[in-house]
């Protein structure tokens, strides 16, 4: 699989990275439902076998469990993939999640993540959310210290606005940004991606398949019967009136994908990778089979006519 430069980090990443939100399992506010740990490890192994060279996780996914699964999967590997993780979402003894950008909290999170992952240094450490806003400078200053000490190699942010990145940039370079981006969530095209291009910030996007909606595996019946511990049941994209229109979009992606021998999900991911400001896209995989079903997006190139088909359909969708 070919690689791309991730901004000014010096890292060369594959266009596709494995996201591990779902393999954190249940029993927290944003779970995807129950998950078999064996499937989680198999998904990581299969992604690496297929050429993916970076794994994205976060301390909060499964309240530490996702990082533990990544650590188990890569343990003993002589050549480990690049490991990207995140901080700033913390939880208490009652498993209630909150936000902290205090220096001591970020340092404690980093130490715990290193232990769960079983690595001596994190390749890319990211602030997960810019909350509380008034503590951004304190949090980013501590991120700079962690890099200077070698506990992390590169530092980035997730879900930051341009103004917030500018504030961080005054303290230390923002090396990467991780924002949501899909053909149904395009807000970053107006200001964020141009700013990142101008400032050499590498962008890795999440939810390019809109949390599974655009994979081709979602149906009306499945969406209406998501288990109680699947956070998506409360997402408007999985409810009417948007659900039916989204599924019509999936059928367009299916027809385009058929021309290339690719799935609707791979078309959705390839669409995000067409943008010159995007270095990579995160694909979630709860099993080896799911990884196999979308990893081909990294090599798929949509032509201008196909992009125009998608643009025409999306433009006609209700807001």
In tens, the pLDDT along 101-147 reads 999 999 999 999 999 999 999 999 999 999 999 999 999 999 999 99
- CA dist 283 and 205 (Å) reads 9
In a domain, 240, yes or no: no
Residue-level pLDDT at 135 = 98
In a domain, 87, yes or no: yes
In a domain, 294, yes or no: yes
In a domain, 245, yes or no: no
Residue-level pLDDT at 34 = 84
- pLDDT higher than threshold 90 for residue 313: yes
The number of residues making up the chain comes to: 319
Mean residue pLDDT of the chain comes to 94
What CATH number is given to the structural domain containing 44? Answer: 3.20.20.100
In a domain, 238, yes or no: no
Nearest-CA neighbor of 184 among 267, 105, 246?
246
In tens, the pLDDT along 237-282 reads 888 888 889 999 999 999 999 999 999 999 999 999 999 999 999 9
Q: Which of 30, 61, 181, 206 is catalytic?
A: 61
Mean pLDDT throughout 157-185? 97
Q: Are the C-beta atoms of 86 and 158 separated by less than 8 Å?
A: yes
In a domain, 246, yes or no: no
pLDDT tier at 226 (50, 70, 90 boundaries)? confident
Q: Is 30 a catalytic residue?
A: no
Considering its fold, how many domains does the chain have in total? 1
Nearest-CA neighbor of 126 among 189, 71, 178?
178
Which residue range(s) make up the domain with 122?
Answer: 12-212+272-299
Residue-level pLDDT at 27 = 75
E runs forming strands in 159-316: 176-178, 202-205, 280-284
User: Tokens standing for 93?
Assistant: 């003894």
In a domain, 157, yes or no: yes
E runs forming strands in 28-108: 54-56, 82-87, 89-91, 97-99
In a domain, 249, yes or no: no
């Amino acid at each position: 699989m070919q690689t791309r430069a991730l901004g000014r980090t010096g890292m060369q990443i594959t266009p596709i990275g494995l996201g591990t939100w779902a393999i954190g399992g249940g029993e927290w506010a944003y779970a995807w439902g129950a998950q078999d740990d064996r499937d989680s490890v198999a998904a990581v192994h299969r992604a690496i076998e297929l050429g993916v060279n970076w794994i994205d996780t976060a301390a909060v996914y499964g309240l530490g469990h996702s990082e533990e699964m990544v650590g188990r999967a890569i343990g003993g590997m002589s050549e480990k993939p690049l490991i990207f993780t995140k901080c700033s979402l913390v939880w208490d003894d009652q498993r209630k999640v909150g936000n902290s950008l205090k220096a001591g909290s970020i340092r404690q999170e980093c130490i715990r993540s290193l232990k769960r992952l079983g690595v001596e240094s994190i390749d890319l450490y990211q602030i997960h959310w810019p909350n509380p806003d008034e503590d951004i400078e304190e949090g980013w200053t501590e991120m700079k210290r962690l890099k200077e000490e070698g506990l992390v190699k590169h530092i980035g942010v997730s879900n930051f606005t341009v103004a917030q990145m500018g504030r961080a940039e005054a303290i230390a370079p923002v090396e990467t940004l991780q924002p949501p981006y899909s053909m149904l969530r395009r807000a970053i095209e107006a200001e964020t991606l141009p700013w990142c291009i101008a400032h050499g910030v590498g962008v890795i996007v999440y939810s390019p398949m809109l949390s599974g909606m655009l994979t081709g595996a979602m149906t009306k019946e499945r969406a209406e019967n998501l288990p109680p511990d699947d956070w998506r049941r409360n997402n408007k994209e999985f409810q009417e009136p948007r659900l039916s229109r989204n599924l019509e979009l999936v059928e367009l992606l299916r027809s385009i994908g058929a021309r290339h021998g690719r799935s609707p999900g791979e078309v959705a991911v390839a669409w995000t990778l067409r943008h010159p400001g995007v270095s990579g896209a995160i694909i979630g995989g709860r099993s080896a089979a799911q990884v196999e079903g979308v990893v081909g997006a990294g090599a798929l190139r949509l032509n201008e006519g196909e992009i125009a088909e998608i643009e025409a359909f999306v433009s006609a969708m209700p807001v």
